[in-house]
Structure 1
Amino acid sequence: MIRLDAVTKRYKLRGFSKTVLRGVDLRVDAGDAIGICGANGAGKSTLMRIIGGTERQSGGRVHRGMSVSWPLGYGSCFQSSLTGADNARFIARIYRRDPVRLIRFVEEFAELGPFLRQPVRTYSAGMQARLAFAVSLAIDFDCYLVDEITAAGDVRFRERSAAALTERSQNRTLIMVSHDPATLKQYCRRGAVLENGRLRPFDRIEDAIAHHEALQAAA
């Protein structure tokens, strides 16, 4: 289970602070597939990074009773001076996986060709997303975080990504952020809407999408 209790996130800027999350509560049980809706700038990606542990909350508590991936497509988890292969090897050692097998999977899935042996700083944003997605899938997490990853790469890569996500959603926990209602309906059963820093849960993803669209229409 993953549980967020009264989680807040505040960024300190020059002369003032900006609160992105205000007392967010969320419970995710094993096998859940939850889609999170929200307008641009609502804090969805921030929330995902906090759930994954790549960013700390300003207040509240986060309990992770299962292994959680970083947000798929989140390339900032890599050391830019290292090659893609070296980054994958380093992550394999952190998670106690076989580096050779992990790199072989990344080679086949991401299809970066010779760029896999080049520094990540030479990658485009799409290439970093492909690398991050492939490395995430190579590790058997209990919960996968997905932040708009299906938009990265060419048609073939998107189709392969969709097939992999479908497989993971059937036997793993999934938390997804997407601006595409069809994508959320395809992978998610429950939903939540992030508005003004607060998260409102829904038992059905269709209801979450309808509420979000109503808010957008009224804006």
Structure 2
Amino acid sequence: MIRLENVHQVYPTRSGDRVVLNDISFDLDRGEKVGILGRNGAGKSTLIRLVSGAERPTAGKVTRNMSVSWPLAFGGAFQNSLTGLDNVRFISRIYNQRTEHNIDFVYDFTELGSYLREPVRNYSSGMRARLAFAISMIIEFDCYLIDEITAVGDAKFYEKCEEELFGKRKDRAMLIISHDLEYVRLHCQRFAVLHEGDLVFYPNFDEAHEAHLRNLHIGEG
């Protein structure tokens, strides 16, 4: 289980402190798929970073009793001077994985071909995302954090991602944020809306969707 207790996140700005998350508490159990809706800048990615451990909350507590992935399709942890293959080797050693097996998987999955032998700094954002997703799949986590993964790649690559995540790993917990509302509806069992620092859970997708739309109209007004 992952538990957030009274999590508060504040960032200092020139115009004063900005509260991104305001006293948020919820549990994510093994096998659960939770979808978070919210406007741009609502703090969804901040929430993902806190759950992953990449960032610490200003106040409150995040407890992880299962292994948690980094945000899928996030390439910020790459060593840019290393090649794609060297990054695979590096991650494989850290997690005590079979290196050659992982290289074969990443080669087939990403379809990056000879680019895997090029430094990651030469990659486009799409290539980095493909590599990051493939590397995420060579490590087995109890919980996967999905931050706009639908923006990655073409339709064929999207189908491969779907099979890896929701076919082969359908028993894992997932925290999903996406602007693709249909993606969230299809893959999640619990739904929440993040707005002005507050996270509110709803009994079904339709009610969460309606609340999300109201928040969008408020912002436009």
Give the TM bin, normalised by the shorter chain.
over 0.9
The alignment partner of 2:137 has SS state of: helix
Residue of structure 1 equivalent to 2:69? 69
Query: Aligned partners of 1:156, 1:12: CA distance in 2, in Å?
Result: 42
Q: Which moved more, 1:168-177 or 1:40-49?
A: 168-177
1:87 CA displacement: 1.3
User: Are 1:30 and 2:30 counterparts?
Assistant: yes
Residue of structure 2 equivalent to 1:52? 52
The alignment partner of 2:69 has SS state of: coil
1:165 CA displacement: 2.3
1:207 partner letter: E
User: Are 1:108 and 2:108 counterparts?
Assistant: yes
Residue of structure 2 equivalent to 1:98? 98
- Structure 2 counterparts to residues 142-161 of structure 1, below 5 A: 142-161=142-161
Query: Aligned partners of 1:182, 1:50: CA distance in 2, in Å?
Result: 25
1:145 CA displacement: 0.7
Contact 1:9–1:59 at 8 Å: present in 2 too?
yes
Moved over 4 A (4+): none
Residue of structure 2 equivalent to 1:141? 141
Contact 1:169–1:187 at 8 Å: present in 2 too?
no
The C-alpha deviation readout for 1:120-171, integer Å capped at 9, x for no partner, is 1111111111111111111111111111112111221112112222215521
Q: Which moved more, 1:16-25 or 1:6-15?
A: 6-15
Query: Aligned partners of 1:96, 1:41: CA distance in 2, in Å?
Result: 37
1:15 CA displacement: 6.4
Query: Aligned partners of 2:72, 2:156: CA distance in 1, in Å?
Result: 17
Contact 2:4–2:27 at 8 Å: present in 1 too?
yes
Q: How many pairs are equivalent?
A: 219
Aligned-residue identity in percent: 47
Query: Aligned partners of 2:205, 2:15: CA distance in 1, in Å?
Result: 39
> Which structure 2 residue ranges, 5 or more long, are not aligned?
none
1:104 CA displacement: 1.5
Residue of structure 1 equivalent to 2:18? 18
1:115 partner letter: Y
The alignment partner of 1:75 has SS state of: coil
Residue of structure 1 equivalent to 2:173? 173
Residue of structure 2 equivalent to 1:39? 39
Residue of structure 2 equivalent to 1:206? 206
The alignment partner of 1:11 has SS state of: strand
Query: Aligned partners of 2:126, 2:105: CA distance in 1, in Å?
Result: 18
The C-alpha deviation readout for 1:93-130, integer Å capped at 9, x for no partner, is 22221122122111111111111111111111111111
Query: Aligned partners of 2:12, 2:93: CA distance in 1, in Å?
Result: 35
Q: Which moved more, 1:49-58 or 1:172-181?
A: 49-58
Query: Aligned partners of 1:118, 1:149: CA distance in 2, in Å?
Result: 24
1:19 CA displacement: 2.2
Query: Aligned partners of 1:189, 1:164: CA distance in 2, in Å?
Result: 19
- Using the size of structure 1 for normalisation, the TM-score is 0.94
Query: Aligned partners of 2:144, 2:71: CA distance in 1, in Å?
Result: 7
1:88 CA displacement: 1.6
Q: Which moved more, 1:203-212 or 1:133-142?
A: 203-212
Contact 2:21–2:43 at 8 Å: present in 1 too?
yes
Q: Which moved more, 1:200-209 or 1:62-71?
A: 200-209
Q: Which moved more, 1:14-23 or 1:75-84?
A: 14-23
